[in-house]
Amino acid sequence: MQSWMPKTALWLPAALLAAMLPAACSQPDQFAPACPALKLLPDAADLSSFNGRGQDVTDLVLSARITSVPATCKAGSRGKVAATVDVVMVVNRGPALEGRSAQVPYFLTVMDGDKMLQQKDYLMPVVFPPNVDQGKATSEDIFMEFPVTPQKSAAAYTIYVGIRLTQEQLQYNRRNPAP
């Protein structure tokens, strides 16, 4: 049985597809650019905040631990790599916390070798629903850009992360290291 469609109608879509393939594949595969190194400061990874009357469990207002610092990187504006960083904490409400909400101060410091380029403080808001004394808190996305050259990738930079502690809280962490 003869087809009613002319032969040119069959090869025309194939020819158009073949013509479009080189254009679609002309961009070489690109890997995501390297991200800066992320380092959690061990002495500043935990917070134990007390009410000032002592350091008994009944005096505990809040405890927190940074559990992860995920980051992604992509090509940014010309000559830069754009990084998106999040900070994730597990936060526990202590018996001495008045109310159901708190804020945990934390910081990010950007270093280029031994040179500090930027340090910024943030607050992690935490709200405990009724009958819940532990929760996970994730920061809003933190956007950063790093200048790069063919000789220097974003991996040359380091981002240090920690909870902003008082001198007393830092000494407590050093006397009572986390497991």
The candidate with the shortest Cα–Cα distance to 37, out of 99, 112, 140, 98, is: 112
Would you list the domain boundaries of the chain? 38-173
DSSP string, 19-37: HHHHHHT-SPP-PPPPPPE
pLDDT digits (tens, 9 = 90+) for 135-170: 999 999 999 999 999 899 999 999 999 999 999 999
Q: Averaged over 97-106, what is the pLDDT?
A: 95
- For residue 85, pLDDT over 80 is answered with yes
**Class of the CATH-defined domain 38-173:** mainly beta
Higher pLDDT, 5 or 97: 97
- For residue 59, pLDDT over 90 is answered with yes
Q: Averaged over 7-21, what is the pLDDT?
A: 43
Q: What share of the chain is helix, strand, coil (3-state, %, to 5)?
A: 20, 45, 35
Give the model's pLDDT for residue 23: 44
